[in-house]
Amino acid sequence: MRIETTDLADVVLLVPQPFRDDRGLFTRTFDAEIFDAHLGRPGASAGFVQDSQSRSAQGVVRGMHGRSGRGEAKLVRCARGAVYDVLVDIRADSPTFGRKQGFRLDDTDFHHLYVPPGFLHGFQALSDLADVCYRIDRPHDPAEDIGVAYHDPDLAIVWPVPVTVVSSRDAAAGSWRELLRHVR
């Protein structure tokens, strides 16, 4: 497994090497030793306390979600199908503040995203069904949910396929301008 940097400060892509044979494939999706060494923090990966999985039909968008307070670190991968995953840096002191980047995560390459605290995150399912697995380093607390509308004109995310279903929370999410008033 190798680690690649991205356009966003502190966000990295873990790139595994799947072994393929007549049976199918085997892939390591995470390696604590390599990850902790990259971060320079022994035991960092032990801090992930909840593992979750969501399933979405093609066109579904979930996002753009963040967390108030000290935020949460996340490891995100697509275990089945493919998604277009988007991150937005909302750390006021970051050199890439306000910048966004999209990534394809799928069950062919198994790229795995590490997202530090202080990002908005969302994705769209590209395949008939897409299973996204993620790990977070703090227990989920809906009281700390923050969000920006997935179709906010200032954020201007280009979703690859027509949007089919979003949650009522996402449909009612606030604007990027409103969020900026709180994070700056």
Is there binding between residue 54 and ligand TDO (CB under 6 A)? yes
Is there binding between residue 164 and ligand TDO (CB under 6 A)? no
Query: Structure tokens of 8?
Result: 């966003």
Is there binding between residue 112 and ligand TDO (CB under 6 A)? no
Known catalytic membership, residue 134 = yes
The continuous run of DSSP H or E covering 179 comes out as helix 176-183
The closest of 110, 122, 90, 111 to 10, measured between CA atoms, is 90
Total binding residues for ligand TDO by CB under 6 A?
Answer: 11
Whether 16 and 105 have beta carbons less than 8 Å apart is answered as no
Span from 4-12, 25-33, 59-67, 97-105 in contact with ligand TDO (CB under 6 A): 59-67
Smallest separation (angstroms) from ligand TDO to the CB of 24: 28
Q: Report how far Cα 72 is from the mean position of its chain's Cα atoms.
A: 11
Span from 4-12, 36-44, 120-128, 176-184 in contact with ligand TDO (CB under 6 A): 120-128
Smallest separation (angstroms) from ligand TDO to the CB of 49: 11
Start-to-end Cα distance in the chain: 36
Looking at the DSSP bridge assignments, the partners of residue 54 are 132
Looking at the DSSP bridge assignments, the partners of residue 104 are 84
Q: How far apart are CA 93 and CA 97, in angstroms?
A: 7
Give me the catalytic one of 84, 112, 121, 134.
134
Q: How far apart are CA 7 and CA 92, in angstroms?
A: 16
Query: Structure tokens of 67?
Result: 């967390």
Give me the catalytic one of 38, 65, 112, 182.
65
Known catalytic membership, residue 38 = no
Contact with ligand TDO (CB under 6 A): which of 48, 121, 125, 137? 121
Is there binding between residue 122 and ligand TDO (CB under 6 A)? yes
Contact with ligand TDO (CB under 6 A): which of 8, 14, 63, 90? 63
Positions marked catalytic: 65, 134
Binding site for ligand TDO (CB under 6 A): 52, 54, 62-63, 65, 121-123, 140, 167, 169
